[in-house]
Amino acid sequence: MTATDSAPALVTERSIDPLGFEVPSTVPTHWYNLAADLPQPCPPALHPGTREPLGPEDLAPLFPMALIAQEVSTERYVEIPQTVREIYSLWRPAPLIRAHRLERALGTPARIYYKYEGVSPAGSHKPNTAIAQAYYNKLEGVTRLTTETGAGQWGASLSLAGALLGLTVEVWQVRASYDAKPYRRFQMEAYGGVCHSSPSELTEAGRAILAATPDTTGSLGMAISEAVEVAAEDPEAHYSLGSVLNHVLLHQTVIGQEALEQLGDVVPDVIFGCAGGGSNLAGLTFPFLGRNLREGTTTRLVACEPAACPSLTQGEYRYDHGDVAGLTPLLKMHTLGADFVPPPIHAGGLRYHGMAPMVSHAVNLGLMEAVAIDQDTAFRAGVEFARAEGIIPAPESTHAVAAAIAHARAATTDEVVLIGLSGNGVLDLPSYGAYV
Amino acid sequence: MTATDSAPALVTERSIDPLGFEVPSTVPTHWYNLAADLPQPCPPALHPGTREPLGPEDLAPLFPMALIAQEVSTERYVEIPQTVREIYSLWRPAPLIRAHRLERALGTPARIYYKYEGVSPAGSHKPNTAIAQAYYNKLEGVTRLTTETGAGQWGASLSLAGALLGLTVEVWQVRASYDAKPYRRFQMEAYGGVCHSSPSELTEAGRAILAATPDTTGSLGMAISEAVEVAAEDPEAHYSLGSVLNHVLLHQTVIGQEALEQLGDVVPDVIFGCAGGGSNLAGLTFPFLGRNLREGTTTRLVACEPAACPSLTQGEYRYDHGDVAGLTPLLKMHTLGADFVPPPIHAGGLRYHGMAPMVSHAVNLGLMEAVAIDQDTAFRAGVEFARAEGIIPAPESTHAVAAAIAHARAATTDEVVLIGLSGNGVLDLPSYGAYV
Lowest mean pLDDT among A8-17, A215-224, B278-287, B337-346: A8-17
Query: What is the sign of the dihedral through the CA atoms of B336, B341, B346 and B351?
Result: positive
Radius of gyration over alpha carbons of chain A, in Å? Answer: 21
Most confidently predicted of A107-121, B41-55, B204-218:
A107-121
B389 reaches A (C-beta below 8 A): yes
* pLDDT tens-place string over residues A254-306: 999 999 999 999 999 999 999 999 999 999 999 999 999 999 999 999 999 99
pLDDT band at A410; cut points 50, 70, 90: very high
* Neighboring chain A residues of B87 at a CB cutoff of 8 Å: 101, 390
Phi/psi region, residue B183 (left: phi>0; alpha: psi -120 to 50; beta: rest), is alpha
- Reported as a single tens digit per residue, the pLDDT across A87-103 is 999 999 999 999 999 99
Average pLDDT over residues A56-84: 95
Q: What are phi and psi of B382, to 5 degrees?
A: -60, -45
Q: Where are the alpha helices (DSSP H) in B94-152?
A: 100-106, 127-139
For A59-68, the pLDDT digits (tens) are: 999 999 999 9
Most A CBs within 10 A among B104, B113, B131, B194, hence the mutation to make, goes to B104
Interchain CB contact of B22 with A (< 8 Å): no
Percent of chain A with pLDDT over 70: 96
Burial A11-27 (b: 16+ CB within 10 A, else e): beeebeeebeeebeeeb
Q: What is the mean pLDDT of chain A?
A: 93
> Is A406 within 8 Å of chain B by CB?
no
User: For the segment B266-319, what is each residue's pLDDT rounded down to a tens digit?
Assistant: 999 999 999 999 999 999 999 999 999 999 999 999 999 999 999 999 999 999
Query: Min CA distance, A435 vs chain B (Å)?
Result: 9
Task: Please state whether the predicted TM-score (pTM) of the whole model is above 0.80.
Answer: yes
One-character DSSP codes across B280-339: HHHHHHHHHHHHHHHH----EEEEEEETTS-HHHHSEEEEEESSTTS-SPEEEEEES-TT
Mean pLDDT of B82-88: 97
Does B76 score more than 50 pLDDT? yes
Q: Residue B127 has what pLDDT?
A: 98
Q: pLDDT band for position B339 (50/70/90)?
A: confident
What's residue A5's pLDDT?
41
Secondary structure E strands in A180-285? 194-198, 237-239, 270-274
Among B4, B108, B186, beta carbon nearest to A3: B108
Q: Which residue of B has its CA nearest to A425?
A: B187
Contacts of A103 in chain B (CB under 8 A): 1
Q: How many helices (H) and strands (E) does chain B have?
A: 18, 14
CB contact under 8 A, A190 and B429: yes
DSSP 3-state percent helix, strand, coil across chain B (nearest 5): 40, 20, 40
Q: Is the pLDDT of residue A4 over 80?
A: no
pLDDT band at A374 (very low <50, low <70, confident <90, very high): very high
Q: How far is B216 from chain A (nearest CA, A)?
A: 25
Higher pLDDT: A48 or B162? It is B162
Interface contact A91-B390, CB threshold 8 A = yes
Neighbour tally for B264: CB within 10 Å: 7
Give the distance between the most distant pair of CA atoms in chain B.
Answer: 65
Q: Which of B21, B160, B383 sits opposite A100 (nearest CB)?
A: B21
Taking CB atoms and an 8 Å limit, are A1 and B101 in contact across chains?
Answer: no
Q: Using the beta-carbon criterion (under 8 Å), do A108 and B1 form an inter-chain contact?
A: yes
Distance of CA B361 to the CA centre of its chain: 18
pLDDT (tens digit per residue) in B376-409:
999 999 999 999 999 999 999 999 999 999 999 9
- CA nearest to A13 within chain B: B105
Domains (range + CATH), chain A: 89-124+246-435 (3.40.50.1100), 127-239 (3.40.50.1100)
Q: Is the dihedral of CA B175, B177, B179, B184 positive or negative?
A: negative
CB spacing of A19 vs B101 below 8 angstroms: yes
Burial call A309-341: b when 16+ CB within 10 Å, e when fewer: bbbbeebebebbbbbbeebbbbbbbbbbebebe
Query: What pLDDT is stored for residue A151 in this prediction?
Result: 86
The answer to whether A195 and A155 have CB atoms below 8 angstroms apart is yes
Helices (H), B336-395: 357-364, 375-389
A343 vs B: CB within 8 A = no
Q: What is the pLDDT of residue A198?
A: 95
pLDDT confidence of residue A15: 56
Whether the predicted pLDDT of B39 surpasses 80: yes
Assess whether pLDDT exceeds 50 at residue A49: yes
Q: Which amino acid is at A310?
A: P
**Lowest mean per-residue pLDDT among A186-190, B6-10, B292-296, B319-323:** B6-10
| Residue A7 binned pLDDT confidence (cut-offs 50, 70, 90) | very low
Among the partner-chain residues A14, A87, A107, the one whose CB lies closest to the CB of B8 is A107
- For residue A386, list chain B residues with Cβ-Cβ distance below 8 A: 121, 163, 190-191
* B341 pLDDT tier (thresholds 50, 70, 90): confident
Q: Do B3 and A163 touch (CB under 8 A)?
A: no
B-chain residues near A117 (CB < 8 A):
none
Q: Would an 8 Å CB–CB cutoff place B14 in contact with chain A?
A: yes
Residues B272 and B43: beta-carbon distance below 8 Å:
no
What is the SS3 assignment for B131?
A: helix
Cβ of A190 and B383 within 8 Å? yes
Residues of A in contact with B104 (CB under 8 A): 1, 14-15, 19
pLDDT at A260: 98
Are β-strands B330-335 and B316-321 bridged in parallel, bridged antiparallel, or unpaired? antiparallel
CB-based contact A410 B191, cutoff 8 Å? no
Most A CBs within 10 Å: which of B15, B85, B111, B387, as the mutation test of the A interface?
Answer: B387
User: Least CA distance to A160: which residue of chain B?
Assistant: B390
Q: Which of B101, B164, B409 sits opposite A5 (nearest CB)?
A: B409
Looking at the complex, does the CB of residue B25 fall below 8 Å from at least one CB of chain A? no
A108 interfaces chain B, CB cutoff of 8 Å: yes
| pLDDT at B15 (0 to 100) | 55
Q: Which of B15, B184, B409 sits opposite A4 (nearest CB)?
A: B409
Of A14, A183, A392, the CB nearest to B121: A392
B208 part of contact set with chain A, CB < 8 Å = no
- Taking the C-alpha atoms of residue B77 and residue B253, their distance in angstroms, rounded to an integer, is 10
Query: Quick check: A212 contacting B, CB < 8 Å?
Result: no
What residues are paired with A169 via a beta bridge?
Answer: A145
For residues B55-69, give the mean pLDDT: 93
Half-sphere exposure of B288 (CA within 13 A, CB side): 32
Pairing between β-strand B316-321 and β-strand B416-421 as defined by DSSP bridges: unpaired
In this prediction, residue B1 carries a pLDDT of 31
> Which is higher by pLDDT, A379 or A329?
A379
Interface mutation vs chain B, best among A346, A387, A424, most B CBs within 10 Å: A387
The DSSP-derived string for A320-333 is EESSTTS-SPEEEE
Does A8 contact chain B (CB < 8 Å)? yes
pLDDT value at residue A268:
98
pLDDT tens digits, one per residue of A307-363: 999 999 999 999 998 877 777 889 999 999 988 877 888 888 888 889 999 999 999
In angstroms, rounded to a whole number, what is the distance separating the alpha carbons of residues B419 and B426? 19
Contact of B190 with chain A, judged by CB distance below 8 Å, is answered with yes
The answer to whether the beta carbons of residues B120 and B156 sit under 8 Å apart is no
* Calpha distance B354→A282 (Å, rounded): 52
Of B3, B107, B183, the CB nearest to A8: B107
User: pLDDT tens digits, residue range B121-147?
Assistant: 999 999 999 999 999 999 999 999 999
Give residue A236's identity as a one-letter amino acid code. E
ipTM attached to this prediction: 0.95
Touching check for A390 and chain B: CB below 8 Å?
yes
Q: Which residues of A touch B190 (CB under 8 A)?
A: 383, 386, 392, 425, 429, 432-433, 436
